[in-house]
A and B are shown apart, each in its own frame.
Chain A
Amino acid sequence: MLGFVISRLLQAIVVVFAMSIIVFVGVYAIGNPIDVMIDPGATAEIRENLIRQYGLDQPLWRQYITFLANVAQGDLGRSMVYNTSVTGLVFSRLPATLELVLVAITIATVIGIPAGIYAGYRPNSVASKAIMALSILGFSVPTFWIGMLLIMAFAVELGWLPSGGRGDEGTIFGISTSLATANGWSHVILPAINLSLFKMGLMIRLARAGMVEAMQTDYVKFARAQGLPDRQIVFSHVLRNISIPIVTVFGLELGSTLAFAVVTESVFNWPGVGKLIIDSILQLDRPVMVTYLILVVILFVIINFTVDIVYARLDPRVRLGGSK
């Protein structure tokens, strides 16, 4: 087991390094950030100074080495647009994104799992068919368009909720969050619903598939033969058995929800990291792009690593048989 963990850990480190090179070279290939930052009327001298200040006159490999050396000291560079430290910038935006993701995942779970369980329990009822149709819609209709419809319906037409931005912040348990105020909730609810729909579709499908399969197993038949009411069978036997795959996928999907937040945050002008990365791509803010991308790579590598280890722990064939 230890050997397996070490080999996977080494692989993970290699991946992070390889990705950091790809990201660095890729981002370097985009336009010239100096043209974006500088007043076109500036003299050649100012221009030269600025290029030197950002180290853009150095060959690419040296820039990469400098970047690595700085990262080793915890310095990921300064944003060319905001002129603050990138780490500070990303971490100042992170709470907004986490807040949004948290509410979205809660909505997806609280509605998606019971709906999926019902659809699996009565697969042929009209309500179940409606639930499945909705899940297909949640899966296939682009997030940004649903977001736009939500804004049109609830913000423009009905005027019930604000169309974008983050509301007032309050404090719960010493944490500053917009979830502590009513105004904050009114801002978070539309984007959170928007972000949750895709996950909800997934939860419905997972719960339904598990439920359909579980209802045909022997233990359910035995429980029925014993005369147990369906309610008790579902809640005390079936749920326990179908919850494992749901929890696994749930964990895996946390990461991708963070990534999907890019679209929702742009539609709702939500000041999170997703909006930050889109803005930095449009403004050619290289240090922010590199930092965000490398953070995302690390996040996904950690998730993959954890899943590998958990599976190896559960299934000895994985760690003994190598990749086969």
Chain B
Amino acid sequence: MSDVATTTGETLAEPAAAPIETRAMRLKNFWSDFRASKVAVAALVVIVTLLLLAFGAPLVAPQDPYDMAMLDWLDAFLRPGEVGTGGYVHVLGTDNAGRDMLSAIFYGLRTSFTIGLSAGALALVIGISVGLTAAYFGGRVESLLMRIIDLQLSMPAILLALVLVAVLGQGVIQIILALVVAQYAYFARTTHGAATVERGKDYIEAARATPLPTWRVLFKHLLPNVLPPLIVVATVQVAAAIALEATLSFLGVGLPLTEPSLGSLISNGFKYIHSDRYWLSIYPGIFLMITVVAINLVGDQVRTVLDPRHAR
């Protein structure tokens, strides 16, 4: 890069100022590093495609699978590729109620993404607040908060979410809440870890000496510097939230089939696993697997790029 040339060699008497990285430059550098892994780029393309399919479901799906008036019992259990009463090909077959599986998967994907992204975002915000509070105030507040977080992290998220969903009941909002409670601790611990390192640095000391309100120091000065590790945790946690929701729905405590996610579709298909109607459960499962693995692959590459030890 050009900055290497300016900082070495001729200008010994008056060293050039370190180039200030603007936000746009940082983004550009990030992207050129990210691009180094072809697998990660492919995974990113897959995610974008899935997002488009999910949120464009009403436009791309051949059928609105939850409009009961459009379903016909005559179409039940059509094999993939058969033509139903609607006159079009059911590429992935139909389920026990005559729902087009491809459409159901697009709509289910939408539910899964909605839940995963909102749970991830909420958990991120709450986790950051808890982590920053603990790191900034220190003392008793810190030890109490971190003790709770540690205890929570020692329990498997699946168990916590399971109990919460059982208590809160079924529905999208309830699931999101349960996932947030089960996952915020990961963000809190990461934030706390990074913020404890930053808090000892001079710029925080300087900011605290000014009459700026505490929240401003926390969110405008401390937060931007603890973001990189949080981005990694956020990608992984969105994938985990999607997988967790699917698991809960599969166990029968998540979303009902009237409001289906990929998990409830698989759960419904599982009932017919012994009757050679594999397409009811296999296809939603393949979409679920591709989604989760793609997000994890992208997260893995983001981790590599943001790692301070990663050589530019």
Where the two chains meet, the residues of A that have a C-beta atom closer than 8 Å to any C-beta of B are 11, 15, 23, 26-27, 29-30, 136-137, 139-145, 148-149, 151-152, 156, 163, 252, 256, 259-260, 262-263, 266, 277-278, 281-282, 289, 293, 296, 300-301, 303-304, 322-324
Instruction: Please state if A142 and B247 are interface contacts (CB–CB under 8 Å).
Output: yes
Categorize the interface residue count of chain B.
35 or more
Instruction: Please state if B292 and A141 are interface contacts (CB–CB under 8 Å).
Output: yes
* Contacting residue for B154 out of A23, A304, A324, CB 8 A: A304
* Contacting residue for B166 out of A139, A263, A281, A323, CB 8 A: A281
Chain A nearest Cβ from B44, distance in angstroms:
16
Given A289-B166, A293-B163, does the pair A141, B289 have CB atoms closer than 8 Å?
yes
* Contacting residue for A278 out of B169, B239, B252, CB 8 A: B252
A281 to chain B: closest residue by CB: B166
1/0 contact string of B97-140 vs chain A (CB within 8 Å): 00000000000000000000000000000000000000000000
B147 lies within 8 A of chain A by Cβ = yes
B187 lies within 8 A of chain A by Cβ = no
Docked Cα-Cα span, A300 to B266, in Å, equals 31
Chain B nearest Cβ from A28, distance in angstroms:
9
Residues in chain A near residue B143, CB distance under 8 A: 322-324
Given A143-B247, A281-B166, does the pair A262, B159 have CB atoms closer than 8 Å?
yes
Docked Cα-Cα span, A142 to B284, in Å, equals 13
Per DSSP, are chain B's interface residues mostly helix, strand or loop, or mixed? Answer: helix
Residues in chain A near residue B300, CB distance under 8 A: 136
* 29 residue pairs from A and B, CB less than 8 Å apart: A15-B151, A26-B167, A30-B167, A136-B293, A136-B296, A136-B300, A140-B243, A141-B292, A142-B289, A145-B246, A145-B266, A151-B273, A152-B273, A163-B274, A252-B154, A259-B158, A259-B159, A263-B247, A277-B162, A281-B162, A281-B166, A282-B252, A289-B166, A293-B163, A296-B159, A300-B151, A300-B155, A303-B154, A322-B143
B9 lies within 8 A of chain A by Cβ = no
B176 lies within 8 A of chain A by Cβ = no
Instruction: Please state if A27 and B146 are interface contacts (CB–CB under 8 Å).
Output: no
B160 to chain A: closest residue by CB: A259
B251 lies within 8 A of chain A by Cβ = yes
B253 lies within 8 A of chain A by Cβ = yes
B226 lies within 8 A of chain A by Cβ = no
Known: A163-B273, A262-B159, A278-B251; 10 extra A-B contacts, CB below 8 A, are A139-B296, A140-B293, A141-B289, A144-B246, A144-B247, A144-B250, A145-B246, A148-B273, A151-B273, A259-B159
* Contacting residue for A262 out of B158, B169, B288, B289, CB 8 A: B158
With most chain A CB atoms within 10 A of its CB, the pick from B151, B273, B300 is B151
Residues in chain A near residue B34, CB distance under 8 A: none
What are the 7 tightest A-B residue pairs by CB atom distance, in nearest-first order?
A323-B143, A259-B156, A281-B166, A26-B167, A140-B296, A142-B243, A259-B159
Docked Cα-Cα span, A43 to B34, in Å, equals 69
B138 to chain A: closest residue by CB: A324
Residues in chain A near residue B158, CB distance under 8 A: 259-260, 262-263
